[in-house]
Amino acid sequence: MRLAYNILFTLSFLLASPYYFWRMRRRGNWRTGFEQRFGKFDVKLKQAITNRQTLWLHAVSVGEVNICTNLIRVLEPRIPNIKIVVSTTTTTGMGRLKEVLPSHIAKIYYPIDRKKFVARSLSAFHPEAIILIEAEIWPNFIWRARSMSIPLFLVNARLSDRSFRGYRRYGFLFHKLFASFSGVGAQNDADANRLIELGCRPDAVKIVGSLKYDAARLDEHRRLDVPGILAQVGCQPGAPVLVAGSTHAGEEVILAEIHQRLRQQFPDLFLVLVPRHYERSREVGRELNNRRVSFAYRSDVVVGKSEHDGGVNCLIVNTTGELKLFYEEATVIFVGKSLTAQGGQNPIEPGALGKAMVFGPNMQNFGEITGRFLAQQAAVQVNDAAALEASLARLLADASEREQMGRRARAVVEENLGAIQRTVDMIVPHLQGRGLYVRDTAQ
């Protein structure tokens, strides 16, 4: 089975590598740390981990990095003598790691799942344990870790219907991989049952809730003058601001057209579009140009300079890691990937900020979380663009409804905090069992 996987993986990788490297090049800054994907690390990093016990956490991209950051903040004081290494897959994830984690935490790229690359990486760090955030299952990595007797943990585990069907279809490969985990932190009963069906040991699975609630409450130092940026491009003081976050193809045009019509009722209404993949920003700009929408790119705006002063009623955010800061200035929020694409994006962050939010019918990746907000009338879900426009108009016109909805949304988040601590409590006894010094929570 392993031989068959490695042959198929190598063939697939060779075929897909042109697209894979094209995407990295398109996202930019791909050369830095590139060799780490092949298990090669510089001398400085190797010296930093020499004679140190290490803990390896893996966060695929930006969303997982936010969870990882909060997890480290709770975990690090409990195991003060360990060296923490965090890996990510994407350049945007690496950018985010460098923004939010201090310099003493090592930041690397996750190895491509070939035996040779994985062996190099794990031999370089030889971690005491590995924590994977959400369902990121790569066979060679897990096989190698298991052969080195390194305990594995899967946290904030969530399985979409599609992922579950895929893992179950190839159960002959994945069943033993899921059985390898020493601890699994599931978000809810349904995910726990699915994980057990896929091979996780029942005694290893703990229902801890979603770590995204805690991650959304992560306090960050404000490093961007969003009110100043909005004022610079023409947003009037006190004007309503519609922020469309993590949008996907097709949604920006829909929001721009709705925005143009809503301005007949709300003349000062300002639109902020934050595409989920910032490299799509130029494409979005071309689409808006075709519809004669006046806009500016966030990267072109410098507070205090007048290049974009006035005449603009839309901002395209073509930078990373700033969505929350624009959410803070929103009057109403649209949660993207929910109208023209499947899956949805995270509604917890707007909820934690106490903002009125609207999303489309496709929130499959956040089904239970969405249900909590809707059950408490803390969000609005619409079926199509017409209903979205009507809901936005109603919320923009009614400050009282916005305030009440935001207050209920914040209460939903408050009621579901604590998953980070429960996850740490699941992991720490295993580390203590391997002889690591663990500080008591009371210290």
- What CATH number should be reported for the domain holding residue 304? 3.40.50.2000
Q: Is residue 441 part of a domain?
A: no
127, containing H or E segment = none
SS3 179: coil
Domain residues for 132?
Answer: 2-12+25-217+418-433
pLDDT for the residue 330: 98
Q: Is residue 398 part of a domain?
A: yes
Q: Is residue 158 part of a domain?
A: yes
What is d(CA 320, CA 285) in angstroms, rounded to the nearest whole number? Answer: 17
What is d(CA 57, CA 51) in angstroms, rounded to the nearest whole number? Answer: 19
**Residues 50 and 174 placed together within one structural domain of the fold:** yes
Residues in the chain, pLDDT under 70: 27-29, 218-222, 305-310, 441-443
CATH of the domain at 152: 3.40.50.11720
Token pair in block for residue 126: 């030889």
Question: Taking CA 82 as the corner, what is the angle to CA 78 and CA 84, rounded to the nearest 5 degrees?
Answer: 100
Find the Cα–Cα–Cα–Cα dihedral 156, 157, 159, 165, rounded to 10°.
170
**Residues 111 and 125 placed together within one structural domain of the fold:** yes
Phi, psi of 255 (to 5 degrees): -65, -40
What is d(CA 194, CA 213) in angstroms, rounded to the nearest whole number? Answer: 22
Q: Is residue 20 part of a domain?
A: no
What is d(CA 419, CA 348) in angstroms, rounded to the nearest whole number? Answer: 14
Using a 10 angstrom Cβ sphere, with 0-12 exposed, 13-18 middle and 19 or more buried, the burial of residue 379 is buried
Cα 64 to the center of its chain, rounded Å:
4
Q: Taking Cα atoms as reference points, which of 169, 120, 187, 176 lies closest to residue 152?
A: 176
**Residues 397 and 331 placed together within one structural domain of the fold:** yes
Radius of gyration of the chain (CA): 23
Q: Is residue 443 part of a domain?
A: no
User: Average pLDDT of the chain?
Assistant: 92
Token pair in block for residue 329: 């200035």
**Residues 200 and 246 placed together within one structural domain of the fold:** no
pLDDT for the residue 308: 52
**Residues 280 and 183 placed together within one structural domain of the fold:** no
Q: What's the pTM? A: 0.86
What is d(CA 83, CA 53) in angstroms, rounded to the nearest whole number? Answer: 6
**Residues 321 and 402 placed together within one structural domain of the fold:** yes
**Residues 193 and 297 placed together within one structural domain of the fold:** no
pLDDT for the residue 439: 86
SS3 102: coil
**Residues 328 and 428 placed together within one structural domain of the fold:** no
SS3 330: coil
Q: Is residue 438 part of a domain?
A: no
On whether the CB atoms of residues 291 and 254 are closer than 8 A, the answer is no
Total domains in the chain come to 2
**Residues 428 and 359 placed together within one structural domain of the fold:** no
**Residues 199 and 315 placed together within one structural domain of the fold:** no
**Residues 411 and 428 placed together within one structural domain of the fold:** no
Q: Taking Cα atoms as reference points, which of 212, 211, 137 lies closest to residue 181?
A: 137
* DSSP code at position 339: S
Give residue 104's identity as a one-letter amino acid code: H
SS3 306: coil
Q: Is residue 299 part of a domain?
A: yes
The string over 269-307, giving b where at least 16 C-beta atoms fall within 10 Å of a residue's C-beta and e elsewhere, is bbbbbbbbbbebbeebbebbeeeebebbbbeebeeeeee
**Residues 251 and 111 placed together within one structural domain of the fold:** no
pLDDT for the residue 303: 81
What is d(CA 349, CA 366) in angstroms, rounded to the nearest whole number? Answer: 13
Handedness of CA 299, 89, 86, 112 (dihedral sign): negative
Measured between alpha carbons, how far is residue 359 from residues 269, 340, 350 in Å?
A: 19, 11, 11
Q: Is residue 427 part of a domain?
A: yes
Token pair in block for residue 97: 């790691």
pLDDT for the residue 122: 96
What is d(CA 274, CA 276) in angstroms, rounded to the nearest whole number? Answer: 6
Query: Residue 53: left (phi > 0), alpha (psi -120 to 50), or beta?
Result: beta
